[in-house]
Amino acid sequence: DMQKFVAAFASVISQSTPHIYISALPFAPRGLGVSKRYLSDYPQTLAVRNGGYDNWPALQNACTGHKGAVNSAAFSPDGKQIVSGSDDSTVRVWDAETGETIVGPLRGHIGRVSSVSFSPDGTRIVSGSSDCTVRVWDAETGETVVGPLQGHSHSVNSVSFSPDGKRVVSGSSDCALRVWDAKTGKTTAVVPLQGHERPVNSVSFSPDGSRIVSGSFDHTIRIWSVDTGEMVI
């Protein structure tokens, strides 16, 4: 219960510690552990006479700051940060506890950001955009470390890191997939991966990094070999 209390009121508590008791405690669910333990110690604070929570709400926080639709969001591997990509052409990194922007807005794309994802070690972010490019960012400084990666002829709709963090796959409205070296930005020997007849909306690596799965507007799912670029299923 205390964990949920802190998550719910983190933004208030971070501004002023006394608000734990002045502003937060009166609004905590009355029947749960924190209220039962501490409310009697603070009889002169606010009191909710009607309404109020019987249990904690499902919504833990709201991250606000983008000036356009948010198209993609993902947790960092340790769950402490969130990355988002928006129609406002920016990428933002948020504190998952407080909802505050901690890195960004990251600017560089000139079209809407369609897809974002953290690297497996949480140090980098990959983004794909309607400007037909892919970018890799430093998750701590917000600097572009690789890119813009150019090769797609239409909007990049989905991007993902390989499990070892060494490669990035992208799927595009040009109906193709491309695999990139996450450090050099070079494409692999077999590019692009072609077979879909309509835009590719979603891509992901297999857990061992040897295959890629893609989903498309053409109503099909395809599985590809990373090494050969051939369709295996």
Better-predicted residue by pLDDT, 37 or 46:
37
What's the pLDDT tens digit per position in 141-195?
A: 999 999 899 999 999 999 999 999 999 999 999 999 999 999 998 987 667 999 9
pLDDT in the model for residue 41 = 87
Domain 70-225 in CATH 2.130.10.10? The answer is yes
What share of the chain has pLDDT > 90, as a percent?
A: 63
Which residue ranges does the chain devote to CATH 2.130.10.10?
Answer: 70-225
Q: pTM here?
A: 0.76
* Bridge partners, 144 (sequence order): 137
Cα 210 from Cα 167, distance rounded (Å): 11
Mean predicted lDDT score pLDDT of the chain = 90
Radius of gyration of the chain, Cα coordinates, nearest whole angstrom: 22
Cα 194 from Cα 216, distance rounded (Å): 12
* Bridge partners, 177 (sequence order): 171, 193
